[in-house]
Each structure stands twice: as structure tokens, then as C-alpha cells.
Amino acid sequence: MPLSLVPRRSVVCATAAVMLAALSAACQPDGSAGGGTSSSLTKPDEKAIAAPAPDSFRVTVETSKGNFTILAHRDWSPRGVDRFYNLVKLGYYDDTRFFRVLNGFMAQFGLHGDPKVNAAWEPLRIEDDSVKQSNKRGTVTFATGGPNTRTTQLFINYGDNANLDAMGFAPIGEVVEGMAVVDSLYANYGEGAPDGAGPDQARIAAEGNAYLTQSFPRLDFIRRARIAP
């Protein structure tokens, strides 16, 4: 079950296999963080989540290692920034794990702790944006499983990953405060399946935080992410 576009140094989102696992989870007992997930996350309003974002805005991300701030630039990636803005407004990233952290490469997050939420958002893909900025250190970019497949997953570049530019990965913003916090995220689980022994994205989609808490308890996580005043 391939999850990578390019071996080892790829950045991926949900593949068809992940999608099927997530959709099946909606009909099975799940491993969500709790039974009170907002209906705005389990039944997102497609018109509302496409609302335009401000030209620029800051997001304060509170994590298990400390806080960092993302400055989003709508002119860098309009569709991507609109999606990010609306996800943050809905509280989507609260209690989500940094499930794929690779030293020198990137830290990836954005699969939800509730499988019902993953199933609801997987089909809500957005079209690609032109790549206007390079994937340099500190930039924040949507993960993707191929053309026009961006949904909720993001990664933060640890180094100069300019090789991703030609692959269509369009940065949406940059970490402007707290990059040391990002650097300190737990990375010892390594690459995920099938290339490594780290978290399996299909199982995260289908089982949520219950799977990660049991099998990968040392993962760092986002406590909450909010639009800064």
C-alpha cells in the first residue's frame, strides 16, 4: 500500500487506501478523542469552508513543546490559505499529532483524532495553487497525494526543500516565531509505513488518536491553534 510519491523524502496526504480506511471508519466504533466533536467538523459546510481568508493573518499554535506562530500569506497560495484559515477557525487542529517528523526534512500534521472527521474531510479536496514561494526552512505547505488532492494535512520544512517546488508543493505561509519549538518535536519514530516503523497514515485516518496514543505515545501534539488578534 504505497503512501509516498517519492521514496523516503516524499510528502504525502491521504491516498486512496487511506480514504477507504477513513470512510469505513464512519461505520465502525472509532478511537476519537471524545464523543463531543463539533458538527461543523463532522458535517462541514462546503460553502463556509471556502470563504476567503484575509490577505495575511497569524495563527498561534500551542503545542506539547511550546508555542509557535505561523504567518499566512494569501497571495502565496489563495486556495490553500483559504482552507487553512477556515480549518483553524473551526478548531480542526486541536489535539492533532505531529505524526511524521523527519529530522532535516519536515514535520507533518493534520490528520484528526476523530475518524469521523477524517472521513468527512477527505473528499473535500481543493485545487492546486501555483508555486510562488520556495519550500525553504520554516515555510508551511499542504501535503498532497497527487494533483488537486489537498485537504487538511500540512508540513513545516526543516531545511531547504526546493526540490519540492517543481512537484507542485505551494507554501502557504511561514513560521515567524518559535521555530525552535518546531525543531524540538519528537522525531525518533521516523518514517511511517510502508517505508519505516512510524505511524501508519491509514490507521490514523481509521482509528484516530486512540491508535497513536497506544502505539506512539511520545508524539508531540497541538493543544490548540487559533487566529491571533
Domains of the chain plus CATH, in order, are: 16-31+53-227 (2.40.100.10)
User: pLDDT for 132-148, tens place per residue?
Assistant: 999 999 999 999 999 99
Average pLDDT, stretch 108-112?
98
Confidence tier at 2 by pLDDT (50, 70, 90):
very low
pTM of the model: 0.88
Reply yes or no on whether the pLDDT at 170 is more than 90. Answer: yes
Phi, psi of 97 (to 5 degrees): -95, 150
Confidence tier at 36 by pLDDT (50, 70, 90):
low
Burial 186-213 (b: 16+ CB within 10 A, else e): bbebebbeeeeebbbbbbbbbbbbbbbe
Asked whether the beta carbons of 57 and 226 are under 8 A apart, the reply is: no
List C-alpha distances in Å: 66 to 5, 158, 179, 219. Answer: 32, 17, 10, 14
Kindly report the average pLDDT of the chain as a whole number. Answer: 88
